[in-house]
Structure 1
Amino acid sequence: MTLVDEILEKFHKKHRADLEYLIPLAKKVESAHSDKPECPTGLSDFLMKFQFELESHMQKEEKILFPMIKSGQGSMAHNFETPDDACGSWTALYQGAQTNGIYWNRK
């Protein structure tokens, strides 16, 4: 199993399943216990907004980033190897991008 497959299985699939379970549950709790001050009023709305944003992020990964990685294009910018005469800023840029899992397709 590749790292991409693990991310899809362990995170994307799990996040989707968890939110599909939690949102209706939050609505049920809010509906049944709205008269109590401790009730997590607004949690279902928050979870729905979170689900929308997270789904957008995951879709970008699944449609753009992951196919690029699987096709071998995920190691652009010369695998983040700077030339011998690279300045400190260039070196820091590549180190920071690589550390943060940023992939760039130079055109």
Structure 2
Amino acid sequence: MSVQTQTLSDIACTVPGATDLFNDYNLDFFLNGKQQLKVALANAKIDKAAFLFKLTNLEQAESKSHFNWQTQSPIKLVAHIIDNFHEKHRIQFRQLLHLCKVVQEKNPHKEYFPQHLESHLSQMRYELEEHMMKEEAILFPMIMKGFYPSGPISVMEAEHLEHAAALDKLSELTQQFTPPADADDNWRLLYTQTKQLYNDLKEHIHLENNILFSQR
């Protein structure tokens, strides 16, 4: 099968580094993962030859750390999501909100700091925590027993759309995670870690929407 006829989610699962490449080109692999690559490239008006060259290089590179979660049991995937995303996000938000306060208190150019960044991160944290708690307490235990309740899954997928909109807003507030030229180290660290959260949450949603929930 040509890579161009594969879906974004299949490529994300099987090609090491593909999700980073998708992020570089703003290809939505986490909400629209069932879209064929050739369709996504055409819709985004991306230079197909340049993109495929980069993707081919990734396919040819070896990565011992890459793991295809399509081949694993739901029990293993749920454990992976909780350990490597749910817990990680909780730590990330604590660190980011702390850095927001540090930058606003100590940076000499704090008047240029995004006015609503801290409040937006706080709201994201609250909404994502509520979401993760529902998964951990209700949905995931059911999935681990072999049940895929359509109602709760549909609710989680709808909330993923809200998380995606929040990520778009996060990118907008930070000028695509680009600090001012004269930003201090704390400000630069804040934006670096914010971009990491952005990428991690997209990967998190991808694993749920395109792999875990697709087994129902």
CA distance in 2, matches of 1:72, 1:36: 52
Partner letter of residue 7 of structure 1? Answer: I
Query: In the TM superposition, what is the alpha-carbon distance from 1:15 to its structure 2 partner?
Result: 0.5
* Aligned residue runs from structure 1 range 57-76, under 5 A: 57-74=131-148
CA separation of 1:42 and 1:2: change in aligned 2, threshold 3 A: same
Instruction: Determine the structure 2 residue equivalent to 1:55.
Output: 129
Is it true that 1:29 corresponds to 2:103 in the alignment? yes
Aligned-residue Cα RMSD (Å) equals 2.8
Q: Do the aligned partners of 1:23 and 1:44 also contact (CA within 8 Å) in 2?
A: yes
* Structure of greater Rg: 1
Instruction: Determine the structure 2 residue equivalent to 1:10.
Output: 84
CA separation of 1:41 and 1:5: change in aligned 2, threshold 3 A: same
CA distance in 2, matches of 1:55, 1:99: 21
Partner letter of residue 70 of structure 1? Answer: M
CA distance in 1, matches of 2:214, 2:139: 10
Query: In the TM superposition, what is the alpha-carbon distance from 1:70 to its structure 2 partner?
Result: 1.0
CA distance in 1, matches of 2:122, 2:210: 31
Is it true that 1:40 corresponds to 2:110 in the alignment? no
**Structure 1: which 5+ residue stretches go unaligned?**
77-97
* SS in structure 2 at match of 1:5: helix
CA distance in 1, matches of 2:117, 2:108: 12
Once the two structures are superposed, residues 56-102 of structure 1 have per-residue CA deviations (whole angstroms, 9 ceiling, x without a partner) of 110111111100011221277xxxxxxxxxxxxxxxxxxxxx96827
CA distance in 2, matches of 1:61, 1:34: 42
Q: Do the aligned partners of 1:19 and 1:51 also contact (CA within 8 Å) in 2?
A: yes
Partner letter of residue 59 of structure 1? Answer: M
Q: Do the aligned partners of 2:104 and 2:110 also contact (CA within 8 Å) in 1?
A: no
* SS in structure 2 at match of 1:54: helix
Query: In the TM superposition, what is the alpha-carbon distance from 1:28 to its structure 2 partner?
Result: 1.4
Instruction: Determine the structure 2 residue equivalent to 1:92.
Output: none
TM-score, structure 2 normalization: 0.34
Q: How many residues are paired up? A: 83
**Structure 2: which 5+ residue stretches go unaligned?**
1-74, 151-208
CA distance in 1, matches of 2:108, 2:118: 12
TM-score, structure 1 normalization: 0.64
CA separation of 1:10 and 1:99: change in aligned 2, threshold 3 A: closer
* SS in structure 1 at match of 2:94: helix
